[in-house]
Amino acid sequence: MIGNFCYHNPTKLYFGKDASSHLGEELARYGKTVQLVYGGGSVKRNGIYDEVVGILRACGKHIVEDGGVMPNPTVEKLYEGAKLAREHKVDLILAVGGGSVCDYAKAVSVSAYCEGDPWKKYFIDFEEPTCKIIPVACVLTMVGTGSEMNGGSVITNHREKLKIGHVFGSEVMPKFTILNPMYTFSVPKRQMVAGIYDAFNHICEQYFSGEDDNVSDYLSEGLMKSLIANSRVALKDPHDYEARSNIMWAATWALNTLIAQGKDTDWEVHMLGQAVGALTDATHGMTLSAVSLPYYRHILPYGVKKFRRFAVEVWGVKDEGSDEEVANAGLEAMERWMRELGLAMNISELGATAEMIEALADATLVMDGGYKVLTCEEIVEIFKESL
């Protein structure tokens, strides 16, 4: 049964090779001062930075530079960016980069005028912003997180050994996003496949919960099959425009809040993966791939009907045999695909050790939307199986 819900997503998308041609008309809707947020410098090497800066200058904008956003944005960087936005009284935060840059921009947007500590308010107490929110827009250069069309933001606190996400409301979602698949061509293969799996797991988190025959499940199966098919094409030819555009579009729809409507969602894989990221600073998509199979094999008995459906509808497993046999065959097919992509298949690859298990368990938030609410002992066991 589909539950009651209200769906609202205000983000305007411009998609395709000419998407950036609309940047100027959108910038005209905002004030003079733009905080330009980007990462470690790849946008400068591939020319995207120069293109965006040229458009900003042509529009008469005053640019406040905010570069150096790391793959797992830290709370220290958040404080720095919020101070920059407040002191320059920026009118728009323009994120040029991947999901981490977009996440960071949204965190800055609600932190610049926050009364008190934004880390505690938003990422520990999960409060909603009551202060002025600076508008955010995105020019996406790496696919995976879906941050370009949602209110999510993930920040890492190394001192507290925590990596925590907060999903803000529609007022924090980007006002507009530029989606040009060609901007993703220069992303290294490891980052490309990590982004693909991140998107795939976003769908899994919303699929492995609730009852069958929800519209969301049919949408999810189509998106997953599209990602699987196009990932194989992109793996052979990273410059295949059709494959990369399909991956980009599927990744956006994977987490723009649509397929979560009217049902419970899980997100425990993300909690496990984020704990690994907090202690190792590993690539987000790889932390997810490293813990996924041990987690899904652990909860399979509690949602075996859905895992059977997943095997048949997504992986083409023959619908013959017991629920457990068919369901496990589906996870085996998923594992073969993951290895084909070259994903991290255990947390040891990412720098985690047996000595970290207790700290990893302590850093894992327990969610209650999936088929099984994990105990601390079960979390420890899953991490041991993930080594």
List the CATH number of the domain containing 335.
Answer: 1.20.1090.10
Query: Across residues 187-213, what is the average pLDDT?
Result: 93
- Domain co-membership, 208 together with 167: no
Cα(378)–Cα(387) distance, integer angstroms:
14
Q: What is the pLDDT of residue 288?
A: 98
pLDDT in tens, 54-66: 999 999 999 999 9
Residue 321 has pLDDT above 90, yes or no: yes
- Residue 365: inside a domain: yes
Residue 211 has pLDDT above 90, yes or no: no
Residue 40 is classified by DSSP as S
* 3-class SS of residue 234: helix
pLDDT in tens, 262-286: 888 999 999 999 999 999 999 999 9
Instruction: Give the pairing of strands 12-15 and 176-179.
Output: parallel
- Domain co-membership, 222 together with 321: yes
- Domain co-membership, 196 together with 340: yes
- Residue 114: inside a domain: yes
Nearest residue to 201 (alpha-carbon basis) of 367, 328, 334, 299: 334
Looking at 183, 205, 235, the residue that finishes a domain is 183
- Domain co-membership, 272 together with 331: yes
Q: Name the average pLDDT for the chain.
A: 96
Looking at 154, 183, 212, the residue that finishes a domain is 183
* 3-class SS of residue 200: helix
Q: What is the pLDDT of residue 41?
A: 82
Residue 3 has pLDDT above 80, yes or no: no
- Domain co-membership, 29 together with 139: yes
pLDDT in tens, 300-309: 999 999 999 9
pLDDT in tens, 337-385: 999 999 999 999 999 999 999 999 999 999 999 999 999 999 999 999 9
- Residue 123: inside a domain: yes
Element (H, E) at 352: none
Write out the two tokens for 324. Answer: 């457990």
- Residue 1: inside a domain: no
pLDDT in tens, 133-158: 999 999 999 999 999 999 999 999 99
Q: What is the pLDDT of residue 116?
A: 95
* Residue 106: CATH number of its domain: 3.40.50.1970
- Domain co-membership, 169 together with 23: yes
Tell me the pLDDT band of 210, cut-offs 50, 70 and 90.
confident
Query: Across residues 240-258, what is the average pLDDT?
Result: 97
- Domain co-membership, 145 together with 210: no
How would DSSP label each residue in 365-377? PPPSSSS-PPPHH
Q: Which amino acid is at 120?
A: K
- Residue 277: inside a domain: yes
- Domain co-membership, 131 together with 194: no
Tell me the pLDDT band of 40, cut-offs 50, 70 and 90.
confident
- Domain co-membership, 302 together with 240: yes
Tell me the pLDDT band of 1, cut-offs 50, 70 and 90.
low
CA distances from residue 374 to 17, 37, 123, 161 in whole angstroms, order as listed: 45, 38, 21, 20
Q: What is the pLDDT of residue 127?
A: 97
Q: Which amino acid is at 50?
A: D
- Domain co-membership, 177 together with 252: no
Residue 212 has pLDDT above 80, yes or no: no
- Domain co-membership, 80 together with 213: no
pLDDT in tens, 73-95: 999 999 999 999 999 999 999 99
- Domain co-membership, 349 together with 216: yes
What is the span of the domain harbouring residue 113? Answer: 12-183
- Residue 6: inside a domain: no
Looking at 183, 215, 244, the residue that finishes a domain is 183
Helix, strand, coil content of the chain in percent (nearest 5): 55, 10, 35
Per the structure, the count of domains in the chain is 2
Residue 233 has pLDDT above 90, yes or no: yes
- Residue 5: inside a domain: no
Q: What is the pLDDT of residue 262?
A: 86
Q: What percent of the chain has pLDDT over 70?
A: 99
- Residue 7: inside a domain: no
